C-alpha cells in the first residue's frame, strides 16, 4: 500500500487509448521517462531515437515542423526544425552557418529584425554583412568573398514586396559553394515553394500565415537533413525552443492555410488596385500590379494569381501623412505582425524598421510615409472603403 503523497504524484495506471485521436495529442511535458540507463544513454548519444527533454525535442513541436516540411516539399525529402519565434529560427540558422570572421550577403530590403540581428548582434562576433541590391544579380555576385558563408534572401521583401529571383540567386550560391537561405514568411508555401527553385533553406515566422490566428508565436526552418542537423544543434544549445502548446495552435492553423492565404491574396490584389488608382497615394507596393517591377517574375515563380497578402501604401506627404493614415483607420487594426484573420496596419519607419536610420530606409526602398497593411479575411469592399477614407482629404 502506497502513501497518499505517492498516490497523488503518480496516480493510477494510465489507460491505453486504442483508437487514434483525430487531433494529435499535445505532449505538455518537460521530460520523458525511459526504460533503462542504457536506453537513456543511447537516446542522449543519438544511437536510438526517442524523447528525453522538451528543450531538446518535443513530439508536438516536431510534428508541426514535419508538417511544414511536407508543405514545402511534398516529396518528403526535406526536414524541418521548430523554434520559439521567427527571429529564433533566423538567428539559429545564421549561427549554424557562420563562425567568427564569416561574411554574409543580404539584400538591402531585408526585414528590420534581420537587419538588427546582423548589424547589432552578429557583428559583435566578427560576422560581417554586405547589404546589396538583391535584384542586381551582378551586385550580388560581386559582393561574395572567400569568407562568405551564406547568401540570404527574402521571397517577398518586407515591406516593399520585392520578389527575389530565386533560380538565379540559387545558381549564384551554388557557383560559390555556399547555401542560399530565404525568409519565406510573406509568401507561405501556398504562394511559393522555394526549394523547388534551388533554395537550400526556407525560414518562416510561423506566427504569421502558418499559424494564421495571431494567437501563437513560433518559427520553423526547412531544408536538407545535413544542414538541419547543424541548425538543430544551435537550437538545442541556445534554448530557442518551440513550446508544445504553441506548436499545437500553429499546427491547427496549417489545416486552413490554403483557404486563408488564397482569400487574403485575392483581397490584397483588389485593395492594391484601388489604392494605386487614388491620387492621394505616392506609391503602392504589391506584385499583382503590372506597374510593380517584379510583376512578371512573380507570375513565373508564384502560384497562379497569388501575389502575397501584404500591401504597402505610401501616401503623398511624407512621414506625417503615413502616421495620420494609421490614426484614421477604423476597421483595420493598428497592430504589428501579419498573416492573421484580422487586417492590421503599421507605419513602417517607426515600427518594424525602427532600427534603420533614414539613409538605410531609403536604400531599402522604404518611403517615409510607408504603411504596411496585412490583409485579413474581411470583405474586400469594406477594407477598401476604410483605407481610402484613412487617406484623408486630398
Asked if 226 and 270 sit in the same domain, the reply is: no
Task: Supply 257's cell numbers.
Answer: 492555410
**Residue from 27, 57, 73, 111 carrying the catalytic annotation:** 111
In the annotation, is 307 catalytic? no
pLDDT at residue number 365: 87
Asked if 181 and 279 sit in the same domain, the reply is: no
Asked if 230 and 352 sit in the same domain, the reply is: no
**Residue from 55, 174, 280, 293 carrying the catalytic annotation:** 55
pLDDT at residue number 1: 58
Q: CATH code at 317?
A: 3.90.1150.10
**H helix runs in the chain, sequence order:** 4-10, 37-44, 59-72, 86-97, 112-116, 137-143, 166-176, 188-191, 225-238, 244-254, 257-276, 295-301, 319-328, 358-363, 380-390
**Residue from 193, 208, 260, 263 carrying the catalytic annotation:** 208
In the annotation, is 70 catalytic? no
pLDDT at residue number 384: 98
Asked if 55 and 178 sit in the same domain, the reply is: yes
In the annotation, is 344 catalytic? no
Structural domain contains residue 320: yes
Can you list the residues of the chain whose pLDDT is less than 50? none
**Residue from 183, 285, 294, 386 carrying the catalytic annotation:** 183
Which three-class secondary structure state does DSSP give residue 373?
strand
133-149 pLDDT per residue, tens: 999 999 999 999 999 99
Asked if 262 and 283 sit in the same domain, the reply is: yes
DSSP character string of 38-91: HHHHHHHTTSS----BTTT--HHHHHHHHHHHHHH-TTS--EEEEESSHHHHHH
Asked if 227 and 269 sit in the same domain, the reply is: no
344-347 and 219-223 strand pairing: unpaired
Asked if 125 and 210 sit in the same domain, the reply is: yes
Asked if 343 and 214 sit in the same domain, the reply is: no
292-301 pLDDT per residue, tens: 999 999 999 9
- Please tell me the distance from the alpha carbon of residue 151 to that of residue 140, in angstroms, as a whole number: 9
- Please tell me the distance from the alpha carbon of residue 305 to that of residue 296, in angstroms, as a whole number: 12
pLDDT at residue number 151: 98
Q: Give me the residues paired with residue 181 across strands.
A: 152, 201
Asked if 136 and 173 sit in the same domain, the reply is: yes
Closest alpha carbon to 283 in 319, 315, 318, 323: 315
Q: CATH code at 68?
A: 3.40.640.10
Structural domain of 71: 37-254
pLDDT at residue number 355: 86
Structural domain contains residue 154: yes
Structural domain contains residue 137: yes
Structural domain contains residue 7: no
Contact criterion met (CB below 8 Å) for 149 and 105: no
pLDDT at residue number 394: 64
Q: How many domains does the chain have?
A: 2
In the annotation, is 111 catalytic? yes
Amino acid at each position: 500500500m502506497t502513501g497518499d503523497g505517492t498516490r497523488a504524484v503518480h496516480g493510477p495506471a494510465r489507460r491505453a487509448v486504442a483508437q487514434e485521436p483525430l487531433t494529435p495529442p499535445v505532449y505538455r511535458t518537460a521530460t520523458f521517462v525511459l526504460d533503462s540507463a542504457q536506453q537513456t544513454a543511447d537516446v542522449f548519444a543519438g544511437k536510438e531515437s526517442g524523447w528525453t527533454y522538451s528543450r531538446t525535442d518535443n513530439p508536438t513541436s516536431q510534428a508541426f515542423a514535419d508538417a511544414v516540411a511536407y508543405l514545402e516539399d511534398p516529396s518528403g525529402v526535406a526536414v524541418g526544425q521548430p523554434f520559439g519565434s521567427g527571429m529564433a529560427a533566423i538567428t539559429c540558422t545564421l549561427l549554424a552557418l557562420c563562425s567568427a570572421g564569416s561574411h554574409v550577403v543580404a539584400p538591402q530590403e531585408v526585414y528590420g529584425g534581420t537587419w538588427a540581428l546582423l548589424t547589432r548582434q552578429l557583428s559583435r562576433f566578427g560576422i560581417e554583412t554586405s547589404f546589396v541590391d538583391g535584384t542586381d544579380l551582378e551586385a550580388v555576385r560581386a559582393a561574395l568573398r572567400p569568407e562568405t558563408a551564406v547568401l540570404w534572401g527574402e521571397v517577398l521583401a518586407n515591406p516593399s514586396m520585392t520578389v527575389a529571383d530565386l533560380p538565379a540567386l540559387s545558381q549564384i550560391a551554388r557557383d560559390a559553394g555556399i547555401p542560399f537561405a530565404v525568409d519565406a514568411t510573406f509568401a507561405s508555401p501556398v504562394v511559393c515553394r522555394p526549394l523547388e527553385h534551388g533554395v537550400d533553406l526556407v525560414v518562416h515566422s510561423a506566427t504569421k500565415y502558418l499559424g494564421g490566428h495571431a494567437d501563437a508565436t513560433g518559427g520553423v526552418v526547412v531544408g536538407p537533413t545535413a544542414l538541419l542537423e547543424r541548425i538543430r544543434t544551435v537550437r538545442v544549445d541556445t534554448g530557442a525552443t518551440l513550446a508544445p502548446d504553441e506548436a499545437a495552435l500553429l499546427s491547427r492553423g496549417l489545416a486552413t492555410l490554403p483557404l486563408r492565404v488564397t482569400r487574403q491574396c485575392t483581397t490584397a490584389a483588389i485593395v492594391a488596385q484601388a489604392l494605386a488608382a487614388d491620387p492621394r497615394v505616392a506609391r503602392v507596393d504589391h506584385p499583382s500590379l503590372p506597374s510593380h517591377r517584379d510583376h512578371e517574375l512573380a507570375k513565373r515563380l508564384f502560384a497562379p494569381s497569388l501575389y502575397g497578402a501584404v500591401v504597402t501604401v505610401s501616401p503623398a506627404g511624407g512621414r506625417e501623412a503615413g502616421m495620420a493614415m494609421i490614426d484614421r483607420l477604423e476597421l483595420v487594426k493598428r497592430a504589428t505582425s501579419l498573416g492573421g484573420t484580422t487586417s492590421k496596419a503599421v507605419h513602417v519607419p517607426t515600427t518594424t524598421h525602427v532600427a534603420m536610420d533614414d539613409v538605410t530606409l531609403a536604400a531599402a526602398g522604404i518611403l517615409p510615409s510607408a504603411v504596411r497593411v496585412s490583409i485579413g479575411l474581411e470583405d474586400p469592399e469594406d477594407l477598401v472603403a476604410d483605407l481610402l477614407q484613412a487617406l484623408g482629404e486630398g
